[in-house]
A = this chain, B = another copy of it.
Amino acid sequence: MKFTKNNNCNDCTLKCDIYNALKESGEDFSIIKPIHVYYDRNEYICKQGSSVTHAIYLVEGSAKLFIEGLNNRNITLYIITPDSYIGLLSFFETPDYSYSVKAIESSRICMVDIDTMKKLYAGNHDFLLKLNKAFGKSVKSILGKIITLNQKNIRGRIADSLLYLSELYKSDSFNMLLSRKELGELSAISEENAVRLLTELRKEGIINVTGKNITIVDKKLLRKISEIG
């Protein structure tokens, strides 16, 4: 982890919501002092229980958002890719993060002090509504996850996770960046069963597996499995 202060939004290639809101407001860019941070794989970007001090935006790389459960068992809710908010679910109301985020590859984030954010959306209604929209979307996906985790068998769950990753990376062939254990955590499956299921699906000709590289061969069938298990 290393960080740089004194960044200037004008030099940033990413024209994020915050930038746009600020530009619209006509305010000086000096009011926000964005901090850029670089993380290696497996480093915490934010930790469940710690206080929410900044709005965090993922600029580069990818990260997993997970809840830290009992006896070190985690459940990964989803993978975050650029460019989207990391701090979102805990942004309103809660003083502390109710989840953790870890980089799953080298990643870069940009963070803006929460007071500055508040000032910003106090004067910009659309900005707040945009935050809400993203927020609402997250919630919807979480509700779907609850059903998946509680009502599908492990075969259906792993199929779900693979389809999810394929959609996330917008390709039938992708490097999932996750270890077998982490893939398990995305589907609430033990590591051993995650391995077994990947092997099973491979032998059935539904996917190809080479290390962490997955290719979905028969998407139709995988979708069926996701439905009926």
- Residue pair B125, A75 in contact (C-beta under 8 Å): no
Q: Are A89 and B139 in contact (CB under 8 A)?
A: yes
Q: CB distance B188 to A137 under 8 Å?
A: no
Interface of A is mostly: helix
The reply to whether B133 and A92 form a contact with Cβ atoms under 8 Å apart is: yes
Considering the complex, give the chain B residue whose CB is closest to the CB of A141: B98
This chain: copies in complex? 2
> Contacting A75 at CB < 8 Å: which of B139, B150, B152?
B150
Most chain-B Cβ atoms within 10 A of its Cβ — which of A94, A99, A136, A149? A136
Asked if residues B149 and A92 are in contact (CB atoms below 8 Å), the reply is no
- Give the nearest-CB partner of A227 in chain B: B70
Are A150 and B92 also in contact (CB < 8 A) when A99-B143, A135-B135, A142-B142 are?
A: no
The answer to whether A26 has its CB under 8 Å from any CB of chain B is no
Task: Look across to chain B and name the residue whose beta carbon is closest to the beta carbon of A132.
Answer: B92
Bound Cα distance A136, B92 (Å): 5
User: A140 — nearest CB in chain B belongs to which residue?
Assistant: B98
Contacts of A73 in B (CB 8 A): 151
Answer yes or no: A69 CB below 8 A from chain B CBs.
yes
Q: Name 27 A/B residue pairs within 8 A (Cβ), A-sorted.
A: A69-B147, A73-B151, A75-B146, A75-B151, A89-B139, A92-B132, A92-B133, A92-B135, A92-B136, A93-B132, A93-B140, A94-B140, A98-B140, A125-B125, A125-B128, A128-B129, A132-B132, A132-B135, A135-B135, A138-B139, A139-B139, A139-B142, A142-B143, A145-B146, A146-B146, A146-B149, A149-B149
